[in-house]
Amino acid sequence: MEAIRTASHLLLIEGAPTSGKSTLIDALVRDHVRSAPVRQIRTLVSLTQDHTGGPLNPAEDAGTLTKEDTLAHLRTIGGSLSWLVQTAAQGGMPQPWIVVDTLHLTHCVRRGLEWEDVEALDAVLARVGGKLLFLRVSPETITPDATTGQSHTQDRHGKSDSSPHRFAPCTRHNAVLSGPSLTRGHGR
């Protein structure tokens, strides 16, 4: 597929729990709104983890979540993001400003997907000019989570691990996130 010929404002932020993703996104959104001229903010989308993973939590908690459910959820998100960017490009409108708090790489770690499962979504995000920011932190720099007060990383099921190697199911060549597009930076 050919890349859309326009500058997209789609930023996907991934990283270990408590690495500051949500805090960074909050600051980016606030700065964008504050710095935009009056009546010049068109489409602004901030997908939180409540959107990118939250709808799957009840089935995950009940032990009924399937790989197909997870992939269908990711396809829906990818299709919606692609539609937003494509309609703006085709209509000559300003590009939407989109920031996403975790998506396919987190689902590889958290829900057991492999790179091959999410490669198509990665290509869609790259085709619309998405950029990936992966936050890495050392255990010494992790501060207590504002909601839990915990200084270590812990998922909803009590598992703790702050290391980026948790993202190994979606990495290749040992250190470089790879894929045909977004994760290699080809979405420039």
Q: At 8, is the pLDDT very low, low, confident or very high (cuts 50, 70, 90)? A: low
pLDDT recorded at residue 148: 55
For 130, the token pair is 């998405």
DSSP state for residue 172 in the 8-state scheme: B
Angstrom distance (rounded) from CA 160 to CA 163: 9
Taking all residues of the chain, what is their mean pLDDT, rounded to a whole number?
76
pLDDT recorded at residue 9: 87
Strand partners, 100: 12, 47
φ, ψ at 96 (rounded to 5°):
-65, 150
| 118 vs 4, higher pLDDT | 118
pLDDT recorded at residue 17: 80
Of 12-21, 56-65, 78-87, the range with the lowest mean pLDDT is 12-21
DSSP H/E element including 97 = strand 97-101
For 188, the token pair is 């420039």
Q: What is the mean pLDDT of residues 131-155?
A: 65
Angstrom distance (rounded) from CA 183 to CA 170: 10
Q: At 121, is the pLDDT very low, low, confident or very high (cuts 50, 70, 90)? A: very high
For 102, the token pair is 């975790």
pLDDT recorded at residue 186: 39
pLDDT recorded at residue 138: 77
Q: In order of start, what are the domains of the chain with their CATH numbers?
A: 9-34+42-184 (3.40.50)
Question: pLDDT tens-digit profile of 68-111?
Answer: 999 999 999 999 999 999 888 888 888 888 999 989 988 888 88
Q: At 185, is the pLDDT very low, low, confident or very high (cuts 50, 70, 90)? A: very low
Buried b (16+ CB within 10 A) or exposed e, 47-72: bbbebbbeebeeebeeeebeeeebbe
